[in-house]
Structure 1
């Protein structure tokens, strides 16, 4: 990808162009493949000019994480509309899997330790709140919402991360049924927790 003006000269870079190009690299080659040298080549720019828009590689990776988490939040919030309780947890579970399948490398990025925790958790607000609403509407007391939500996510993430890594490719035709079992187990555990 080369950013050019209509006259054929390079356009001025801005942070949006830099981060968007970084996301393309992550989608294509993986989060760990992202380097400033590769990004500069993609943008037909000097490495030094990238530092006008991001502080360093860690800053760039933090921005990719934050934007990926924000995108997941938009998709999860959209899926959650009109749902509650166990039904809502099922819907969110399938939205998480759909996001990971559509954006496996960005999903991998958001499941790494947050580089900029403050910005990352602010971006995660929609996802966290959607999950909390579903868990709360299943009848859990407030003090059990966070640990139960974390447990549900951990169960789903275990399956989803193995799936996007290709671990299950020999049984691909059975994956929907297997995921449904994982979802049912996670949702049942959350509902049982509510009835203690």
Structure 2
């Protein structure tokens, strides 16, 4: 059932998910879905948690064999790749968590990978959370605009516009800001 819900989210968007649409996808009765989840919010919470686990797997895998600024760059590229591959699930996991406890437990891989890369780049434990949040906010801004299609028309009208290059600038700025903070 959860995989079918993810298919619907991927196809139609997180906000379009309803118990009725899921029942239709499964060719089942809506009432039978309540044998598996309490309500739509419960289902959406499960989708958020699974999306965060999947992102954590991607980020942890990207961190392997990297350290320092190079590791932060690898994590940044993993985040973008995840969002491009699963734009609707990425949008779901960047909403306020429905089941905070389960969501944050699912986020441990991503948090740990970021903490390890941050420390190896010289960030102190005292400023690690602030720097991690600032880094994510910068990356998320670009990634969210990209997957929403905001840059689509811009790249078509300007042959010199390379979104990969723009993203590298975003990473450079965010990592440089974090590194500068580490040196103070």
**Which band: TM-score by shorter chain?**
over 0.9
- CA offsets 1:47-94 (integer angstroms, 9 cap, x no match): 000000011000000000000000000010000001111000000000
Which of 78, 93, 107 aligns to 2:90? It is 107
Aligned counterpart, 1:164: 147
Secondary structure of 2:72's match? helix
TM-score by length of 1: 0.90
Q: Aligned pairs, how many?
A: 179
Instruction: In structure 1, list runs of 5 or more residues that go unmatched.
Output: 1-17
TM-score (norm 2): 0.96
Contiguous gaps of at least 5 residues in structure 2: 156-160
Could you report, residue by residue, the CA deviation over 1:26-62 in whole angstroms, capped at 9, with x for unpaired residues? 0000000000000000001000000000110000000
Moved over 6 A (4+): none
CA distance in 2, matches of 1:59, 1:43: 18
After superposition, what is the alpha-carbon deviation per residue over 1:164-185, rounded to whole angstroms, capped at 9, x for unaligned? Answer: 0000002335111100000000
Q: Which residue, 162, 181, 184 being the options, matches 1:193?
A: 181
Partner residue, 1:10: none
Partner of 1:9: none
Which stretch shows the higher mean deviation, 107-116 or 186-195?
186-195
Instruction: Give the superposed CA RMSD.
Output: 0.7
- Give runs of aligned pairs for residues 74-85 of structure 1, distance below 5 A: 74-85=57-68
